[in-house]
Amino acid sequence: MTSPIVPFSLKDTPALIERLLPVQKLSAETFKEQMAVQSKTLTAIGAYWKGRKPLILNKACILGCLIPATDNPKRDIEIFEKLMAMDDESLAIRLRHCKLETQIFLNAPYRELVDQAKRPEEVMDSVHHHIWGDVNMHLHTNAKSFPELVEQLGIMRFGHRPQVGDTFCGSGQIPFEAARLGCDVYSSDLNPIACMLTWGALNIIGGSEEDHTELEREQQQLVDAVLAQIDGLKGEADGRGWSAKAFLYCVEARCPQTDWMVPLLPTLIVSKADRTIAELIPDPILKRYGIAIRSGVSEEYFMAAKRGTVRSDGRGQDLYLVHTVDGLEYRTKISTLRGDFRKPDGTWANKLRLWSKSDFKPSPDDIFQERLYAIQWMRPKKGGKTFDYEFRGISEDDLDREHIVDEFIGKHLPEWQENGWVPDMRIEPGINTDQPIRERGWTYWHHLFNPRQLLVAGLVNRFSNARLKFGLCQVLNSNARLSRWSLGDGPGRSGGVKQVFDNQALNTLLNYGTRGSRFAVGLIQLNLKSFPFVPNLSLKINCHAAGQLLEKSDIFVTDPPYGNAVNYEEILEFFIAWLRRSPPPEFADWIWDSRRSLAIKGSGEEFRRDMVAAYKRMTECMTDNGIQVIMFTHQSGSIWADMANIVWASGLQVTAAWYVVTETDSALREGSYVKGTVLLVCRKRQGLQKITRDDLAWEIQEEVESQVQTLTGLNQKAKGLYRDENVFEDSDIQMAGYAAALRVLTHYAIIDGRDMTSEAIRPRVKGETTFVDGLISFAVDTANQYLVPQGMEKRYWDKLSGAERFYLKMLDQESRGVKKLDNYQNFAKAFKVRDFHALMASQKANDARLKSAIEFGRAEMGEGSELYQSVLRSVLYAVMELMKYVDGNEVLIHLTLNIPNYYADMTQRELAVNLADYLSKHLEVLRPDEASAARVLRELVKNQRLG
Query: Which stretch, 31-39, 560-568, 669-677, 768-776, contacts ligand SAM (CB under 6 A)?
Result: 560-568
- Considering the complex, state which of residue 51 and residue 430 has its C-beta at the smaller distance from ligand SAM: 51
Look at residues 36, 48, 42 and name the one whose alpha carbon lies nearest to residue 499: 48
Query: Would you give the binding string for ligand SAM spanning residues 581-620, x where CB under 6 A is met?
Result: -----------------xxx--------------------
470 binds ligand SAM per the rule CB under 6 A: no
What's the rounded Cα separation, in Å, for the pair 179 and 166? Answer: 12
Distances (CA, A) of 780 to 701, 774, 788: 10, 10, 14
Q: Give the residue, chosen from 352, 457, 546, 899, that forms a contact with ligand SAM under the rule CB under 6 A.
A: 546
**Contact mark string toward ligand SAM, 4..43, x via CB under 6 A:** ----------------------------------------
Q: Minimum distance from CB of 659 to ligand SAM (Å)?
A: 17
Q: Can you tell me which of 168, 444, 574, 786 binds ligand SAM, judged by CB under 6 A?
A: 168
Q: Under rule CB under 6 A, how many of the chain's residues touch ligand SAM?
A: 23
CA quadruple 833, 839, 843, 845: dihedral sign: negative
Helix 771-785 crosses helix 693-717 at what angle (to 10 degrees)?
40
The rounded distance, in Å, linking the Cα atoms of 889 and 128 is 68
Using only C-alpha atoms, the chain has a radius of gyration, in whole angstroms, of: 32
Characterize 404-414 residue by residue with b for buried, 16 or more Cβ atoms within 10 angstroms of its Cβ, and e for exposed: ebbebbeebbe
Of the two residues 57 and 940, which places its CB atom closer to ligand SAM in the complex?
57
Q: Are 458 and 405 a contacting pair, CB within 8 Å?
A: no
User: Of residues 637-676, which lie at the interface with ligand SAM (CB under 6 A)?
Assistant: none
Closer of 52 and 272 to ligand SAM (Cβ):
52
User: Between residues 52 and 447, which has the closer beta carbon with respect to ligand SAM?
Assistant: 52
DSSP state of 191: S
d(CA 16, CA 18): 5
Which of 309, 193, 195, 188 shows the shortest CA–CA distance to 260?
A: 309
Least gap, CB of 563 to ligand SAM (angstroms) = 10
Residue 742 CA to residue 731 CA, distance in Å, equals 17
Tell the smallest beta-carbon distance from residue 546 to ligand SAM (Å): 4
d(CA 601, CA 560): 9
Query: Which run of H or of E encompasses 325?
Result: strand 319-325
- Please give the Cα distance from 365 to 254 (Å, whole number): 11
* Total residue count of the chain as it appears in this document: 947
Phi-psi region of 893 (alpha: psi -120 to 50; beta: other; left: phi over 0): alpha
State the minimum distance, in angstroms, from the CB of residue 685 to ligand SAM. 23
52 binds ligand SAM (CB under 6 A): yes
Please report how close the Cβ of residue 425 comes to ligand SAM at its closest, in angstroms: 18
Nearest-CB residue for ligand SAM: 170
- Report the residue number, 649 or 700, with the smaller CB distance to ligand SAM: 649
Using the rule CB under 6 A, give the single segment among 170-178, 222-230, 660-668, 879-887 that binds ligand SAM.
170-178
153, 10 in Cβ contact below 8 A? yes
Near ligand SAM by CB under 6 A, which window of 11-19, 44-52, 503-511, 875-883?
Answer: 44-52
- The nearer residue to ligand SAM, 422 or 600, going by C-beta atoms, is 600
As beta bridge partners, residue 406 has none
C-beta closer to ligand SAM: residue 51 or 420: 51
Let me know: does 119 contact 33? Beta carbons within 8 Å. yes
Q: What value, to the nearest 5°, has the Cα angle with vertex 145 and ends 144 and 148? A: 90
- Pick between residue 509 and residue 557 the one whose CB is nearest to ligand SAM: 557
Report whether 218 contacts 468 (CB < 8 A).
yes
Nearest alpha-carbon partner for 208 in 536, 468, 530: 530
Span near ligand SAM by CB under 6 A; candidates 239-247, 410-418, 501-509, 557-565: 557-565
Q: Residue 222 or residue 572: which is nearer to ligand SAM going by CB? A: 572
Q: Does 173 bind ligand SAM (CB under 6 A)?
A: yes
**Contact status, residue 451 vs residue 406, Cβ threshold 8 Å:** yes
Smallest separation (angstroms) from ligand SAM to the CB of 445 = 18
In angstroms, give the least distance from the CB of 618 to ligand SAM.
11
CA distances to 225, 713, 723 from 110, rounded to whole Å, are 51, 21, 8
- Of the candidate spans 190-198, 331-339, 656-664, 872-880, the one that interacts with ligand SAM by CB under 6 A turns out to be 190-198
- Selected from 27, 30, 136, 171, the binder of ligand SAM by CB under 6 A is 171
- Pick the stretch among 45-53, 106-114, 261-269, 454-462 that binds ligand SAM (CB under 6 A): 45-53
Instruction: Determine whether 456 is exposed, middle or buried from the number of CB atoms within 10 Å of its CB (0-12, 13-18, 19+).
Output: buried
- C-alpha closest to that of 615 among 563, 642, 651: 651
CA distance 750 to 115: 49
Distances from the Cα of 6 to the Cαs of 3, 69, 131, 136, in angstroms?
9, 18, 19, 11
Cα–Cα distance measured from residue 267 to residue 796, given in angstroms and rounded to the nearest whole number: 62
Q: Which of 545, 756, 895, 916 binds ligand SAM (CB under 6 A)?
A: 545
Q: Which stretch binds ligand SAM (CB under 6 A): 47-55, 127-135, 398-406, 712-720?
A: 47-55
Q: Whose Cβ is closer to ligand SAM: residue 185's or residue 190's? A: 190
Report how far Cα 890 is from the mean position of its chain's Cα atoms.
53
Q: Is 61 in the site for ligand SAM (CB under 6 A)?
A: no
* Closest CB to ligand SAM among residues 18, 573: 573
Site membership for ligand SAM, residue 51 (CB under 6 A):
yes
| 712: CB partners within 8 A, 6+ apart | 728, 733
Would you say 100 or 598 has its CB closer to ligand SAM? 598
Minimum distance from residue 551 beta carbon to ligand SAM (Å): 14
- Nearest of 575, 622, 401, 381 to residue 473 by alpha carbon: 575
Whether 355 and 447 have beta carbons less than 8 Å apart is answered as: yes
505/599 with CB nearer ligand SAM: 599
Instruction: Pick from 136, 191, 464, 746 the residue near ligand SAM by CB under 6 A.
Output: 191
CA atoms of 595 and 400, how far apart (whole Å): 43
In the chain, how many H helices and how many E strands?
35, 27
Q: How far is the CB of 51 from ligand SAM (least distance, A)?
A: 5
Of 183-191, 217-225, 577-585, 789-797: span binding ligand SAM (CB under 6 A)? 183-191
Stretch that binds ligand SAM, among 50-58, 289-297, 392-400, 865-873 (CB under 6 A): 50-58
From the list 149, 190, 509, 913, which residue makes contact with ligand SAM (rule: CB under 6 A)? 190
Instruction: Determine the Cα angle at 589 with ends 586 and 594, to 5°.
Output: 110
Q: Spell out the residues 6+ positions from residue 646 whose beta carbon is closer than 8 angstroms to its own.
A: 608, 611, 612, 615, 760
Nearest to ligand SAM of 14, 430 (CB atom): 430
189 touches ligand SAM (CB under 6 A): yes
The mark string for 561-580 relative to ligand SAM (x by CB under 6 A, - otherwise) is: x--x---x------------
> What span, in angstroms and rounded, lies between the C-alpha atoms of 619 and 626?
9
When the beta carbons of 617 and 909 are compared against ligand SAM, the nearer one is 617
Q: How far is the CB of 557 from ligand SAM (least distance, A)?
A: 9
Least distance (Å) between residue 656 CB and ligand SAM: 20
- Which residues, 195 to 254, sit near ligand SAM by CB under 6 A? none
Which residues make up the interface to ligand SAM (CB under 6 A)? 49, 51-53, 167-168, 170-171, 173-174, 189-191, 194, 545-546, 559, 561, 564, 568, 598-600
